[in-house]
Structure 1
Amino acid sequence: MSPPRERFPFVETEGLRRVAVVCHRNADADAYLSAYALSALMKRLSPSAEVDIVAPGKMTLTARRLARIFPHRVVDDGATGGEIYELFVAVDVGHTELLGSWLGKMRESGAFKVLVDHHPIQRTTLYDRTIVDRKATSAAEVVYAIYGNLRVPVKRRVAQALLAAILFDSQHLAIAGQSALKAAVGLVEDGASLEGARRMLRGEPDYGEVVARLKGAQRLEIIRIGPWVMARSRVGSFHAAVARGFLNLGADIAIATGRTEGETRCSLRSSARFFDATKIHLGTKVAAVVGREGGGGYGGGHPTAASLTSNLTAEEVEERCTSELSKLVKAPAVHVE
């Protein structure tokens, strides 16, 4: 391979044959749509290359619906090994363990590896180059910045995909930072529709999600930590949707935990008001800390939205998350009857 170049994708694009744009396990809307935009960019930079989107495990319901609107070839865990690719671009991954079975494939491959992300940087030797903006609300903002840096025009469909991704990760711009707002304006100028992006994200939940939300509400525990109200519950699936639903009910903090496929998964959410007042980053201060406990786990995410996977029981995980939050707020956790 020729010496690394100074700009994305950091390798000579002429003659590239196979490229993989890799999402995290259970890819959400930001991950898939950012991968879609990066795939389009790679085709612009290397027209003869075959570009695959790799989605380890299942994509979320929203991501699957958006993949029908913005279709691209997607490969999963059952695909062949990573040796067929000459370049890997991981996007919105956070922790390397979220690459699932593709972590091993990427480690064994001699291909050049690039990370495009907005999560806190994890210590790893996996990547040859990283483009990480921790101030960005979404990975899509980082992808949009790459287009700008390369002076590659953003086509209307790509602009629409990136705008939908930004809206998804910024709670429809409610927690958008300066770069997200600037990117949103730029994407609208590139032909994207703000209302169109909102409609894409408003899809009706399926039966399983509705049942999970209702079961979550049925099993709801209310806990007060200082002036803050926390809602927590245990469900078998759709943890993120359940946690988001608790915020919609008025909770400041939400935890949804459950045992799935031999491991405990937990989604954490907090309101913008809670983060503004406490500056408690759920990804680094709670999910990452609890994820490391018990061995074999991991966690991370954003200030107001995070997740973790653990070998501990669901009860242990929710209690440890509650304990961490109690310590950070410096107030006892009191159950509300």
Structure 2
Amino acid sequence: MRDEILISLLDRELNQLSRHKVFILTHSGGDPDSICSAYFLRKLLKEIYNVGNVWIGVPGSPTAHVKALIEYFGIGLAQNVEGVDAYIVVDAGSPEQLDEYFEVISRGDKYVIVIDHHSDTVNRYSPNVKVYSSERYQSVTEVIYDLAEYLGYQLELRDAEAILIGLYYDTVRFSIADLDTSSKICRLISKGIILNSILAKLEQTVDTSERIARLKGASRMKIYRFRDWLVVITNVGKFQSSVARSLINLGAHLAIAIGEVDKSRVAASMRASQDFIEQTKINLSIDLAGRIGVKFGGYGGGHASAAHLECNASIEELAEYLVDELKNRLGINPEVLEA
């Protein structure tokens, strides 16, 4: 168990929910970590904490990955539930990621619990919100798994599958899984999981529009060489996260994909290679997305090597500011290369 103090405090908090009506929310669109943690948390709330009614909601529109998991686990999604006593937000580093639920979570008249593993989450929510977050965890699913072990809860096969999927997704196909996560993966597989079958739920076919976005991102990118570090910045209308990830696979150390939300607002997804993060000590969530998002009247957050921001700026303004920020942090004037 990574953080027994956090888990014991979370257990004490959840014990206050007995006979309450609880609405679990993921971040906008959801992802495998958030929907799988919500699924398993709902079971614990009903079976261990004596919660009467528990609903799960995905703000905005569920992603393709989430839709596949909703179908597989038989998760019924709810919207605008009346008479909710408490909200539990999972895997959302800031309230702005809750779309249509932002107001109800932020106004201060509801019992709200946040369970997360992102950088600086505790500072993003209003003081009345109970935040249980630790960056020591590699996923929220892992937090809920530790809670289950703390409670002595015996996993069923479907529980183990949900936890494994969450771990798989947020450790980038186990590629950054540390010793603790790897140990948990082995214990989960021992429950009888057929690994290739369950992971196939996440390997959705990339549709044509996403492929086009990736290709446009590559064709439009500007390459900045900070000595040994290659930083690329591009702009695409959608699929920014997928585009940034694909540019890392092409060879960039840091990839930033920016797109317009509307005429005055932009969103950006950032991805970095592990060696870039380890050697430069730049945390994408804290040093770039979070700080720059707030500076431009928006928000940002995520992890050290993967982050997202949304703010009031043009694509050009944000790109220029990002390059200047990297100049200052790396102490290097970049060479601009032809794409």
TM-score computed with the length of structure 2 as normaliser: 0.89
Alignment match, 2:293: 291
Alignment match, 2:112: 113
What displacement does 1:205 show?
1.0
Query: Across the two proteins, how many residue pairs are aligned to each other?
Result: 327
Tell me the secondary structure at the aligned position of residue 97 of structure 1: helix
* Cα separation, 2, equivalents of 1:127 and 1:138: 24
Alignment match, 1:122: 122
Alignment match, 1:335: 336
In structure 2, runs of 5+ residues without a counterpart are: 1-8
User: Per the alignment, do residues 8 and 65 of structure 1 end up closer, same or farther by CA in structure 2, a change over 3 Å counting?
Assistant: farther
Whether the 8 Å CA contact 1:229–1:253 is kept in 2: the answer is: yes
In structure 1, runs of 5+ residues without a counterpart are: none
* Cα separation, 2, equivalents of 1:26 and 1:315: 27
Higher relative contact order (CA 8 A, sep 6+): 2
* Cα separation, 2, equivalents of 1:135 and 1:221: 34
- After superposition, the CA RMSD in angstroms is 2.1
Query: 142-151 or 55-64, which moves further after superposition?
Result: 55-64
Whether the 8 Å CA contact 1:135–1:177 is kept in 2: the answer is: no
Whether the 8 Å CA contact 1:163–1:192 is kept in 2: the answer is: no
* Cα separation, 2, equivalents of 1:241 and 1:60: 12
Residue-by-residue CA offset, 1:47-93 (whole Å, 9 max, x unaligned)? 662221121112222222222222312234xx25xx62122111111
User: Per the alignment, do residues 223 and 114 of structure 1 end up closer, same or farther by CA in structure 2, a change over 3 Å counting?
Assistant: same
Alignment match, 2:34: 31
Alignment match, 2:232: 231
What displacement does 1:212 show?
1.1
Aligned pairs for 1:56-135 within 5 A: 56-76=59-79, 79-80=80-81, 84-108=83-107, 110-120=109-119, 121-123=121-123, 124-125=125-126, 128-135=129-136
* Cα separation, 2, equivalents of 1:336 and 1:44: 58
Whether the 8 Å CA contact 1:167–1:197 is kept in 2: the answer is: no
TM-score computed with the length of structure 1 as normaliser: 0.89
Alignment match, 2:54: 51
* Cα separation, 1, equivalents of 2:259 and 2:29: 15
* Cα separation, 1, equivalents of 2:166 and 2:128: 24
User: Per the alignment, do residues 110 and 187 of structure 1 end up closer, same or farther by CA in structure 2, a change over 3 Å counting?
Assistant: farther
Aligned pairs for 1:1-337 within 5 A: 7-16=11-20, 18-45=21-48, 49-76=52-79, 79-80=80-81, 84-108=83-107, 110-120=109-119, 121-123=121-123, 124-125=125-126, 128-261=129-262, 263-295=265-297, 297-337=298-338
Amino acid at match of 1:274: F
Percent of counterpart pairs with the same letter? 29
* Cα separation, 1, equivalents of 2:45 and 2:203: 29
